[in-house]
Structure 1
Amino acid sequence: MSKGWWWLAIGAVAVAAWAARPDSPDAETSADTPPASTTTKAPTSAPTSTGSKPKPKPTGADWWTDYDPAHFAVQVKRSAAAAKVDPQLLMAILYNESYKPHDPEFERAWLRIDSNPALGIANMHRAAFEDTQRGSRFAGRTWEELPDHPELAIEAAAWHLRDLAARLPGKPRTDLKKHELIALGYNAGQGNMRAFARGVKPGPQAQSYLDRLRDNWDKSGEALTTS
C-alpha cells in the first residue's frame, strides 16, 4: 500500500510488459501516469462558461483511462455507509493510493514480477483483503479480481478501514486524529497504527503518507459533495 523506493524499478519492468499490448500508447507514456484515452467522449451537456469544457468521466471497461478517485464518489459513499466509516477518509485513501497506474493489464504485469503486490485502486495486499473479507458481503470474491473491479476495491477498503478503527486503543496518547491513525494503519499495518496511537512518532515513509493524506483531505471532501 505504500509508495516504496522499489516502485521505479518495478514500474519500469511492468510498463515494458504493459506497453507490449497491441492497444498500448506510445513508449513515451510515463510509468507514473495512467495512459491517456484514445477516444474522447463528448460531454452530455454544454459547458456553462467560456472556459475549458468539463472533463467527462470514463465509463465501462475504460474507467482507468482518465482515472480520478472522484469518479467513484457514489461507490465511496455507498461502501462507507455500509461499513460505517468516514467517506472522506475512504476517498482520501483512494487519492493517496492513486500514485500508480491502475490499468488492469498494467497491474497484472506487475503481479507477474512482484512477490507481494498491492492490487486495485485502493492498493490492497492479498493478506489484508483475505483478512477483511471473512464474514463480509464479498466473501465469495477473490483478491485477483481487484484490478478489474474498482467497486470491489472500494468496498474492501471500506471494511478494512472499519476493522482498523475497531483495533485502535480506547485512549490514544497522541496528537494525531483518529482518521489519521486509521490511514496510517492502512498504510503501515495495524501494529504500527497502535504504536503511533501510543505516541510513537511515524517514520519517514509513514509521515509522507500522512502528509499526502492531509494534502488530499479537503479535495476528498469536495469530491463527495459535488458528486
Structure 2
Amino acid sequence: MKAVRWVLVSAAFVLAGCEAATPKAAPPSSSAAPTPTPTASSSSAAASAQQDPARFAKQVVTRAREAGVEPQLVMAILYNESYKPHDPELERAWQKLKPDAAFGVANMHKAAFEESRKGRPFAGREWQELPDDPDLAIQAAAWYLHDLAAQLPAARSGHSTGDLLAVGYNAGPSTMKAVAGGTKPGAQVQTYLDTLHDNWAKAGKAVAS
C-alpha cells in the first residue's frame, strides 16, 4: 500500500489537530485560570509519538529473537511501514474499500500472515486481529522474515541479507530471489530500500535502549 492512499486519512488527522488547537472561550462567570489549550505543534508531536514504532521496542526484541532474526531489521521495517496511521477503526474502514489491504503495525497482507503462522505459537490467531494487537503483528512479521531467510539462495548478489529480506517483505519471495540473483530492484523496491537505510540507525537505537 502506498503512502499516497492515506492522504485523506492524514488530512483528517491534521484537521482534528487543528480543532484541538482552537481556543475555547472561558465562561464569563468563571474566576478560575483558563485551561491551557494544546497548540497545533503539541498535537502534532503527540500524534507523531503515537506513530513512532520505538514504543514497541520490547516486543520487537522479544519476537525477533524468538524467530531468529535481527531486531534492528524488524524495527527498521516497522519504521518503513509507519507511513500510515495504524488505527484499528481506520484500517478496517480502508479494508472495506480495498479488500486486499494490509493490517497491523507491520502492514501484513493476509496471504503472508497465513503462511507465517503455520506451526508457530500464534497458529490459532487470525489475520483480522492484527490491527488490535501490535505484539501479534510484530510476531508474525518476525516469523515471515525468518521464512524469507530460509528461501534465500546460497549464491547472492552484492546486497546484504537484511536488504534482501526487506525486499522480500515489501515485494514478495520471487522478487527477493530475483534481486539476490542480480536483478536490479525496481523503482518501488529501491525506494523501500532507501527508506530502510534512512531508518536503520534510529531502528538500532530503539532496540538498544
Aligned equivalents of 2:49, 2:196: Cα separation in 1: 24
8 A Cα contact 1:187 1:209, kept in partner = yes
SS of the aligned residue for 1:141 comes to coil
1:127 aligns with 2:126: no
Taking structure 1 as reference, are residues 4 and 200 closer, same or farther at Cα in structure 2, changes over 3 Å only? Answer: farther
Per the normalisation by structure 1, the TM-score is: 0.75
Aligned equivalents of 1:134, 1:64: Cα separation in 2: 34
Residue of structure 2 in register with 1:149 after alignment: 133
The C-alpha deviation readout for 1:173-227, integer Å capped at 9, x for no partner, is x11111000000000000000000000000000000000000000110000112x
* Structure with the largest fraction of helix: 2
Amino-acid identity (%)? 54
Residue of structure 1 in register with 2:31 after alignment: none
SS of the aligned residue for 2:142 comes to helix
Q: Per-residue deviation at 1:65?
A: 7.5
8 A Cα contact 1:132 1:156, kept in partner = yes
Alignment of 1:4-153 (within 5 A): 7-8=5-6, 12=8, 15=9, 28-29=15-16, 66-153=50-137
Aligned equivalents of 1:66, 1:160: Cα separation in 2: 25
Q: Per-residue deviation at 1:115?
A: 2.2
Aligned equivalents of 1:67, 1:97: Cα separation in 2: 10
Q: Per-residue deviation at 1:84?
A: 0.3
Aligned equivalents of 2:84, 2:159: Cα separation in 1: 27
The C-alpha deviation readout for 1:32-84, integer Å capped at 9, x for no partner, is xxxx9xxxxxxxxxxxxxxxxxxxxx9xxxx9971211001000000011000
Letter in 2 for 1:189: G
Residue of structure 1 in register with 2:174 after alignment: 191
1:215 aligns with 2:207: no
8 A Cα contact 1:64 1:102, kept in partner = no
Taking structure 1 as reference, are residues 219 and 64 closer, same or farther at Cα in structure 2, changes over 3 Å only? Answer: closer
Q: Per-residue deviation at 1:85?
A: 0.2
SS of the aligned residue for 1:98 comes to helix
Q: Which runs of 4+ in 1 moved over 2 A?
A: 2-5
Whose radius of gyration is greater, 1 or 2? 2
Letter in 2 for 1:190: P
1:166 aligns with 2:165: no
1:179 aligns with 2:162: yes
